[in-house]
Amino acid sequence: MTPNLYTKTYWLNSVLVFLFFAVLMTVEKNFGVTSLLLLAASIYALPFNFHQLKIIPRHLPYWLLGASALLLMNLLLREPWDPERLNLIIFFICLIPIYYNLSNVGFSIQALRLGLYVAIIIGALVSNYEYSTLNNSRAGTALRPQLSGLVAVIFLCYFVARLSYLFKNLKHKPNLFEAALNVSAIIASFIIVNLSGSKSPVLALIVLVLFFSIYFKLYLKPRGIISILIVILSSAGFYTTQTDNPLIQRMSSAMQIIIQSDIGDYDDGSLGARVEIWKTGLNIFEQNPIFGVGFGEKTFAIKEAQLELNLQSIVFNYSTEMHSNYVDLLVLFGAVGLLMFFIFTGIVLITYFKNRSYIKQETLILFLAHILGFLIYGISEVFVGYVHGTALFFFPIVIFISYINFTKKTQLVNSINDALNV
């Protein structure tokens, strides 16, 4: 007799996954509450399904354990005691029972999708309120503007793919309510990206559009060509007409500096300064190539590198971020840290591409847009090691891979049921 896949825990997981995404952009750190609830549900459910855990792929849990062990050694051997550093270790360990629970018991993808719709629409309202009422030229949500813009870009890729699916099934299975909700979500995504005033999400959007156009060969399809032309013309029209828009002004300034090859010009307020920050970070890495300097020695190492390179960036007066996820990892944890990050990325991408036949195309686009978006974002922004960035990168990946595992299990059980019925 085959097991019942859709248990009470399955529906509880679905509600908690919905809440995790739905409240992302409302109140700062509120998704931490839903994460703890999901952890509690996972710990409760695991003893009842312990015998089934051995069939779940272990690559991700092994990486999480390895990363936790390295971070713990780093904390004990060279870091001054800081609860913030311990929180990152606890976070990675807590992802393991959540991964096993969601992989084994599962959750509804419809609940996740509804959570994305709610999150982006509420996020646009919050962002617009912050922009108009609080007079912030770069408005975020509960997340900082750059991260809000990136999340909106990731969701936007999924919403466009989902809208395409809804149009294809308009004659057979019309879903006008979701179509209206989807269009509203797409508009909300653009609002958040625009009000963020950040170049990083725009760069991520451009690269993701190019990637998906090539990967799905959209340039060979009439609808794809029309869609690409609409996007290009709309973007060009917005860029040329909205000259007072803060995002357009910052992009124009950056492009002018690049064209003139005058990276030393700091009028842009970020591009030239970033190059100086990266030089500082790479100098620190050259002195500490294997394990980096850690959090405790980072400030001192920056001052030494600045003196050695004769640089005087004022950015380090209020932040020690390297404005690049990869340079920051090299400074903090050296080549070992960057290698661990790329191993994790490799595990995730291999899992996605290897199992793409088990999930719908728009779902694959969401999964790929998330990890690729963060990889692009990481060129000029830092996310690993900081609360919001770390949670929004690693937690959804655990949810996504768990969904793949459960979907494979579901299809196997259905095949067994079909065989028994024959």
pTM recorded for the entire structure: 0.89
What does the block give as tokens for 187? 């508009």
Confidence of residue 248 (pLDDT cuts 50, 70, 90): low
Amino acid 306: pLDDT: 85
Instruction: In whole angstroms, give the CA distance from residue 361 to residue 371.
Output: 16
Rounded to an integer, the average pLDDT of 129-151 is 77
Domain residue ranges in the chain: 8-260+384-393, 271-383
Amino acid 360: pLDDT: 92
Helices (H) and strands (E) counted in the chain, each on its own, are 15, 0
Confidence of residue 94 (pLDDT cuts 50, 70, 90): very high
Amino acid 246: pLDDT: 59
5-62: per-residue pLDDT in tens? 668 889 999 999 999 999 888 876 667 788 889 999 999 888 777 777 778 999 999 9
Amino acid 267: pLDDT: 43
Residue 27: CB atoms within 10 Å? 12
Nearest CA among 148, 120, 147 for reference residue 378 = 147
**Torsions phi, psi of 306, nearest 5?**
-60, -40
Amino acid at 130: E
Instruction: In whole angstroms, give the CA distance from residue 238 to residue 161.
Output: 23
340-370: per-residue pLDDT in tens? 999 999 999 999 999 999 999 999 999 999 9
Mean pLDDT of the chain: 83
